[in-house]
Amino acid sequence: MTAALHVSGLRAGYGRTEVLRGIDIVVDSGSVVALLGANGAGKSTLLKTISGLLPPTEGTVELFGENAAKQSPARRTARGLCHIPEGRGIFRSLTVKENLELQGAPGKRAEAIASAVESFPILGERLSQVAGTLSGGQQQMLSVARAYVQHPKLVLVDEASLGLAPVIVDDIFRFLASITQKGASLLIVDQFVARALSMASRAYVLNRGVITFNGTADELRQEDVFQRYLGEGNEAP
Ligand SMILES: Nc1ncnc2c1ncn2[C@@H]1O[C@H](COP(=O)(O)OP(=O)(O)OP(=O)(O)O)[C@@H](O)[C@H]1O
Ligand SMILES: [Mg+2]
């Protein structure tokens, strides 16, 4: 089966600073893959390069079996990619309803609102509220709702649970699980390593722009491997 994502030899950075130094990763169709690594390792940079927000200096990104080099971020979205960026990625000065309308395809705005409200009923009660005045957890629900609204084939999730109370984190992970049940593949970056691994079949560890571990989630869960790659600050799950 064609992989949802195939990254090979990818290099990218900002100005003269190279952040990604030759990355190879694969996300099989329908699978969940965790991307782990310390702060500053390059996780968000990798997701931005995959979604086309940052051009690579070398290497290729293949999405759904096609080389994406000439595809704009909007084109990649239309082909089935959904990037939920770090830091919420919503329009703070627009209302909840307006944000949801922008997430939906043209002509499918009512449907976009209905599917978001189905996933997170609280958003339905707050459609006319300005998004920037929602609580942090509600803002994150609005941000991840696009993974349902857009019916994507591959979702890149960057720290969706950052700064949220445990019960909201549960909601977000339950939501992500429901998306995979509908057949979407997931590449998930999260500070809750144990939770990310419990959903994932495979994991990659990124260390200063290089992949230093590539294996099954079970292999990574073995304590010695876990400590070696993710350091003392992380509890083995
Ligand atoms: N827009 C930018 N301009 C210049 N340097 C950047 C920019 N964004 C990120 N960097 C640098 O690139 C490196 C990788 O950052 P990145 O955000 O990809 O890390 P990360 O693994 O997502 O970290 P975190 O876990 O803290 O989110 C860091 O050294 C960071 O300072
Ligand atoms: Mg990041």
Set out the domains of the chain in order of their start, with CATH numbers: 5-88+151-230 (3.40.50.300)
Confidence check: pLDDT of 225 > 90: no
Mean pLDDT estimate for the chain: 90
DSSP class of 108: -
- Residue 137 CA to ligand 2 center (angstroms) comes to 18
Q: What pLDDT digit, counting tens, does each position of 130-155 carry?
A: 999 999 889 999 999 888 888 899 99
**Residues near 39 by beta carbon (within 8 Å), at least 6 away in sequence:** none
Starting at the earlier edge strand, list the strands of the sheet with 66-67. 17-27, 5-14, 58-63, 66-67
Residue 77's φ and ψ, nearest 5 degrees, are -65, -45
Chain-centroid distance of CA 148 in Å reads: 13
Q: Looking at per-residue confidence, does 10 or 104 come out higher?
A: 10
**Is the distance from the beta carbon of residue 44 to the nearest atom of ligand 1 less than 6 Å?**
yes
Binned at pLDDT 50, 70 and 90, residue 8 comes out as very high
Distance CA 222, CA 121 (A): 39
Strands, E assignment, the chain = 5-14, 17-27, 32-36, 58-63, 66-67, 81-84, 154-158, 185-189, 202-207, 210-216
- Residue 44 CA to ligand 1 center (angstroms) comes to 7
Binned at pLDDT 50, 70 and 90, residue 221 comes out as confident
Q: What is the pLDDT of residue 210?
A: 96
For the record, the structure tokens of 145 come out as 């709702």
- 122-149 burial string, b = 16+ CB within 10 Å, else e? ebbebeeeebeebeebbbbbbbbbbbbb
Stated pTM of the model: 0.92
Q: What is the pLDDT of residue 194?
A: 85
Least-confidence region, from 3-17, 102-116, 146-160, 183-197: 102-116
Q: What is the pLDDT of residue 223?
A: 65
Q: Which residue's CA is minimally distant from atom 9 of ligand 1?
A: 45
Q: What is the pLDDT of residue 229?
A: 66
DSSP-assigned states of every residue in 12-40: EEETTEEEEEEEEEEE-TT-EEEEE--TT
Q: What is the pLDDT of residue 47?
A: 97
Burial class (CB in 10 A: 0-12, 13-18, 19+), 14: exposed
Binned at pLDDT 50, 70 and 90, residue 231 comes out as low
By three-state DSSP, how is residue 202 classified? strand
Confidence check: pLDDT of 181 > 60: yes
Confidence check: pLDDT of 38 > 70: yes
By three-state DSSP, how is residue 63 classified? strand
**Is the distance from the beta carbon of residue 41 to the nearest atom of ligand 1 less than 6 Å?**
yes
Mutation to probe ligand 1, out of 20, 45, 161 (largest number of atoms < 8 A from CB): 45
